[in-house]
Protein backbone atom coordinates (compact mmCIF):
# COMPACT_ATOMS: atom_id res chain seq x y z
CA UNK A 1 0.00 0.00 0.00
CA UNK A 2 1.39 3.39 -1.00
CA UNK A 3 1.34 5.79 1.92
CA UNK A 4 -0.51 9.09 1.43
CA UNK A 5 1.68 12.03 0.54
CA UNK A 6 -0.25 14.43 2.75
CA UNK A 7 0.17 14.06 6.50
CA UNK A 8 -1.92 15.94 9.06
CA UNK A 9 -2.08 16.29 12.84
CA UNK A 10 -5.58 16.19 14.34
CA UNK A 11 -6.64 16.50 17.96
CA UNK A 12 -9.28 13.78 17.73
CA UNK A 13 -9.41 10.02 18.45
CA UNK A 14 -8.16 7.74 15.67
CA UNK A 15 -9.05 4.11 15.00
CA UNK A 16 -10.57 1.79 12.42
CA UNK A 17 -13.79 3.30 11.08
CA UNK A 18 -13.39 6.50 13.13
CA UNK A 19 -14.78 9.60 11.40
CA UNK A 20 -12.59 12.68 11.83
CA UNK A 21 -14.03 16.15 11.39
CA UNK A 22 -11.83 18.51 9.39
CA UNK A 23 -12.27 22.12 10.49
CA UNK A 24 -11.65 25.30 8.49
CA UNK A 25 -7.85 25.29 8.82
CA UNK A 26 -7.47 21.62 7.89
CA UNK A 27 -10.04 21.91 5.11
CA UNK A 28 -8.29 24.91 3.60
CA UNK A 29 -4.94 23.10 3.65
CA UNK A 30 -6.25 19.83 2.22
CA UNK A 31 -8.78 21.05 -0.31
CA UNK A 32 -7.52 24.49 -1.36
CA UNK A 33 -3.76 24.30 -0.89
CA UNK A 34 -3.15 20.61 -1.63
CA UNK A 35 -6.11 20.33 -4.04
CA UNK A 36 -7.39 17.07 -2.58
CA UNK A 37 -10.94 15.95 -3.25
CA UNK A 38 -13.42 13.36 -2.07
CA UNK A 39 -11.88 9.87 -2.30
CA UNK A 40 -8.34 11.10 -1.62
CA UNK A 41 -6.27 9.51 1.13
CA UNK A 42 -4.43 11.34 3.90
CA UNK A 43 -2.27 10.21 6.82
CA UNK A 44 -3.58 11.35 10.21
CA UNK A 45 -1.94 11.27 13.65
CA UNK A 46 -2.87 12.74 17.02
CA UNK A 47 0.15 12.00 19.22
CA UNK A 48 -1.64 9.11 20.97
CA UNK A 49 -3.06 6.56 18.52
CA UNK A 50 -0.33 6.13 15.93
CA UNK A 51 -0.71 7.10 12.28
CA UNK A 52 -3.77 6.14 10.23
CA UNK A 53 -4.61 6.24 6.56
CA UNK A 54 -7.96 7.95 6.15
CA UNK A 55 -10.21 8.51 3.15
CA UNK A 56 -11.82 11.88 2.54
CA UNK A 57 -15.58 11.33 2.35
CA UNK A 58 -16.65 14.97 2.48
CA UNK A 59 -14.65 17.89 1.07
CA UNK A 60 -15.97 21.41 1.47
CA UNK A 61 -14.44 24.87 1.42
CA UNK A 62 -14.52 25.22 5.19
CA UNK A 63 -14.98 21.70 6.50
CA UNK A 64 -14.74 18.04 5.63
CA UNK A 65 -14.73 14.51 7.00
CA UNK A 66 -12.14 11.75 6.71
CA UNK A 67 -12.68 8.16 7.85
CA UNK A 68 -9.80 6.11 9.26
CA UNK A 69 -9.14 2.86 7.41
CA UNK A 70 -5.75 1.32 8.25
CA UNK A 71 -3.04 1.99 10.82
CA UNK A 72 0.11 2.84 8.87
CA UNK A 73 2.49 3.43 11.80
CA UNK A 74 2.37 2.55 15.51
CA UNK A 75 2.50 5.16 18.21
CA UNK A 76 6.16 5.85 19.02
CA UNK A 77 6.96 7.96 22.07
CA UNK A 78 10.25 9.88 22.26
CA UNK A 79 12.75 9.34 25.07
CA UNK A 80 12.00 11.01 28.41
CA UNK A 81 14.05 14.05 27.46
CA UNK A 82 13.18 17.73 28.01
CA UNK A 83 14.81 20.65 26.23
CA UNK A 84 15.16 23.83 28.30
CA UNK A 85 16.34 26.90 26.42
CA UNK A 86 16.22 30.67 26.52
CA UNK A 87 14.24 32.15 23.60
CA UNK A 88 16.40 33.93 21.06
CA UNK A 89 15.46 35.89 17.96
CA UNK A 90 12.19 34.93 16.27
CA UNK A 91 13.33 32.70 13.41
CA UNK A 92 16.09 31.08 15.47
CA UNK A 93 13.67 30.16 18.25
CA UNK A 94 11.38 28.53 15.67
CA UNK A 95 14.44 26.67 14.36
CA UNK A 96 15.19 25.29 17.85
CA UNK A 97 11.60 24.09 18.25
CA UNK A 98 11.49 22.51 14.81
CA UNK A 99 14.78 20.65 15.14
CA UNK A 100 14.05 19.51 18.69
CA UNK A 101 10.90 17.79 17.41
CA UNK A 102 12.83 16.17 14.57
CA UNK A 103 15.59 14.97 16.91
CA UNK A 104 13.12 13.64 19.49
CA UNK A 105 12.16 15.37 22.75
CA UNK A 106 9.18 14.91 25.05
CA UNK A 107 8.87 18.49 26.30
CA UNK A 108 9.93 22.00 25.31
CA UNK A 109 10.59 24.31 28.28
CA UNK A 110 11.51 27.95 27.58
CA UNK A 111 13.24 29.63 30.53
CA UNK A 112 13.91 33.29 31.24
CA UNK A 113 17.52 34.04 32.19
CA UNK A 114 19.45 37.17 33.16
CA UNK A 115 20.89 37.80 29.70
CA UNK A 116 17.80 36.85 27.69
CA UNK A 117 17.46 39.28 24.77
CA UNK A 118 14.04 38.19 23.54
CA UNK A 119 10.85 37.79 25.52
CA UNK A 120 8.78 36.72 22.53
CA UNK A 121 7.15 33.42 23.36
CA UNK A 122 3.66 32.35 22.40
CA UNK A 123 2.69 28.82 23.32
CA UNK A 124 0.13 28.59 20.52
CA UNK A 125 2.57 29.74 17.87
CA UNK A 126 5.41 27.50 19.04
CA UNK A 127 3.02 24.56 19.35
CA UNK A 128 2.06 25.16 15.72
CA UNK A 129 5.77 25.02 14.79
CA UNK A 130 6.09 21.74 16.72
CA UNK A 131 3.04 20.24 14.99
CA UNK A 132 4.31 21.24 11.56
CA UNK A 133 7.70 19.69 12.29
CA UNK A 134 6.07 16.44 13.42
CA UNK A 135 3.94 16.36 10.27
CA UNK A 136 7.02 16.79 8.08
CA UNK A 137 9.38 14.35 9.81
CA UNK A 138 6.99 11.42 10.25
CA UNK A 139 6.82 11.61 14.04
CA UNK A 140 3.67 10.33 15.73
CA UNK A 141 4.22 12.47 18.85
CA UNK A 142 4.15 16.24 19.41
CA UNK A 143 6.11 17.50 22.45
CA UNK A 144 4.37 19.47 25.19
CA UNK A 145 5.17 23.19 24.86
CA UNK A 146 5.38 25.09 28.16
CA UNK A 147 4.88 28.72 29.03
CA UNK A 148 7.99 30.82 29.57
CA UNK A 149 9.17 30.52 33.19
CA UNK A 150 12.07 32.03 35.15
CA UNK A 151 15.02 29.66 35.37
CA UNK A 152 15.15 30.06 39.16
CA UNK A 153 11.57 28.86 39.52
CA UNK A 154 12.13 25.82 37.33
CA UNK A 155 15.26 24.85 39.28
CA UNK A 156 13.53 25.27 42.64
CA UNK A 157 10.76 22.87 41.57
CA UNK A 158 13.02 20.29 39.90
CA UNK A 159 11.65 16.72 40.04
CA UNK A 160 13.65 14.11 41.88
CA UNK A 161 15.42 11.55 39.73
CA UNK A 162 15.83 13.67 36.59
CA UNK A 163 19.33 14.71 35.53
CA UNK A 164 19.84 18.20 34.13
CA UNK A 165 22.61 18.44 31.54
CA UNK A 166 23.78 22.04 31.46
CA UNK A 167 25.58 23.12 28.29
CA UNK A 168 28.32 25.08 30.07
CA UNK A 169 30.17 27.27 27.60
CA UNK A 170 33.16 27.58 29.94
CA UNK A 171 33.95 23.91 29.31
CA UNK A 172 34.93 24.82 25.75
CA UNK A 173 38.02 26.42 27.31
CA UNK A 174 38.88 23.34 29.36
CA UNK A 175 38.24 25.01 32.72
CA UNK A 176 36.75 21.87 34.30
CA UNK A 177 35.82 18.28 33.54
CA UNK A 178 32.45 17.67 31.85
CA UNK A 179 29.99 15.05 33.07
CA UNK A 180 29.32 11.79 31.29
CA UNK A 181 25.87 11.25 29.78
CA UNK A 182 24.00 8.42 31.49
CA UNK A 183 20.63 6.77 30.80
CA UNK A 184 17.49 7.86 32.62
CA UNK A 185 15.02 10.76 32.70
CA UNK A 186 16.88 13.87 31.62
CA UNK A 187 16.73 17.47 30.53
CA UNK A 188 19.14 19.62 28.56
CA UNK A 189 19.65 23.30 29.43
CA UNK A 190 20.84 25.75 26.78
CA UNK A 191 21.60 29.35 27.68
CA UNK A 192 20.98 32.68 25.93
CA UNK A 193 23.18 34.35 23.34
CA UNK A 194 25.00 36.28 26.07
CA UNK A 195 25.58 33.19 28.19
CA UNK A 196 24.53 32.59 31.78
CA UNK A 197 25.24 35.21 34.43
CA UNK A 198 27.82 34.48 37.11
CA UNK A 199 25.01 34.11 39.66
CA UNK A 200 23.24 31.58 37.44
CA UNK A 201 26.45 29.63 36.90
CA UNK A 202 27.15 29.54 40.61
CA UNK A 203 23.70 28.22 41.38
CA UNK A 204 23.82 25.59 38.64
CA UNK A 205 27.19 24.30 39.82
CA UNK A 206 25.84 23.93 43.37
CA UNK A 207 22.81 21.81 42.46
CA UNK A 208 23.29 18.03 42.85
CA UNK A 209 21.14 17.10 39.86
CA UNK A 210 23.01 19.36 37.42
CA UNK A 211 25.64 17.75 35.21
CA UNK A 212 27.82 20.19 33.18
CA UNK A 213 28.02 19.16 29.54
CA UNK A 214 30.81 19.97 27.09
CA UNK A 215 29.92 20.61 23.45
CA UNK A 216 33.33 20.72 21.85
CA UNK A 217 36.26 23.16 21.82
CA UNK A 218 34.33 26.14 20.40
CA UNK A 219 31.60 28.30 21.90
CA UNK A 220 28.40 27.63 19.97
CA UNK A 221 25.41 29.80 19.17
CA UNK A 222 22.29 28.94 21.16
CA UNK A 223 20.52 27.08 18.36
CA UNK A 224 23.69 25.19 17.41
CA UNK A 225 24.25 24.22 21.04
CA UNK A 226 20.69 22.88 21.31
CA UNK A 227 21.17 20.63 18.30
CA UNK A 228 24.64 19.49 19.37
CA UNK A 229 23.45 18.59 22.87
CA UNK A 230 20.41 16.70 21.59
CA UNK A 231 22.50 14.73 19.11
CA UNK A 232 25.05 13.90 21.80
CA UNK A 233 22.38 12.67 24.23
CA UNK A 234 20.39 10.74 21.61
CA UNK A 235 23.43 9.04 20.13
CA UNK A 236 24.73 8.08 23.58
CA UNK A 237 21.67 6.96 25.58
CA UNK A 238 18.62 7.91 23.48
CA UNK A 239 16.51 6.12 20.90
CA UNK A 240 19.21 6.28 18.22
CA UNK A 241 20.81 3.18 19.73
What confidence score (pLDDT) does residue 178 get?
A: 65
Which of the four pLDDT bands, split at 50, 70 and 90, describes residue 125? very high
15, pLDDT greater than 80: yes
What confidence score (pLDDT) does residue 172 get?
A: 73
Set out the domains of the chain in order of their start, with CATH numbers.
Answer: 7-73 (2.40.240.20), 81-237 (3.40.1280.10)
Other Cβ atoms closer than 10 A to 61: 10
Cβ neighbours of residue 11 under 8 Å, at least 6 residues apart?
A: 46
* pLDDT, tens digit, 9 for 90 and up, residues 176-213: 556 788 999 999 999 988 889 999 999 999 999 999 99
Which of the four pLDDT bands, split at 50, 70 and 90, describes residue 175? low
* pLDDT, tens digit, 9 for 90 and up, residues 65-121: 999 999 999 999 999 999 999 998 878 999 999 999 999 999 999 999 998 876 679
Give the up-direction half-sphere exposure of residue 21: CA atoms within 13 A in the CB hemisphere: 6
Q: Kindly list the distances between the CA atom of residue 239 and the CA atoms of 59, 111, 165, in Å, as whole numbers in the listed order.
A: 39, 26, 17
What confidence score (pLDDT) does residue 180 get?
A: 81
35, pLDDT greater than 90: yes
More confident call, 156 vs 177:
156
Q: Say what the pTM is.
A: 0.92
Amino acid sequence: MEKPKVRLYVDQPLGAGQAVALGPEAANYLFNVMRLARGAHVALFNGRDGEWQAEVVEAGKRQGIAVCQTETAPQVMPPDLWLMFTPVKKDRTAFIVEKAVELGVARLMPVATRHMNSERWRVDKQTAHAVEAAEQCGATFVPKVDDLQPLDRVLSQWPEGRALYWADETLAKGSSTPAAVIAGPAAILIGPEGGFSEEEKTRLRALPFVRPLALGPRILRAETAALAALVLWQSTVGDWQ
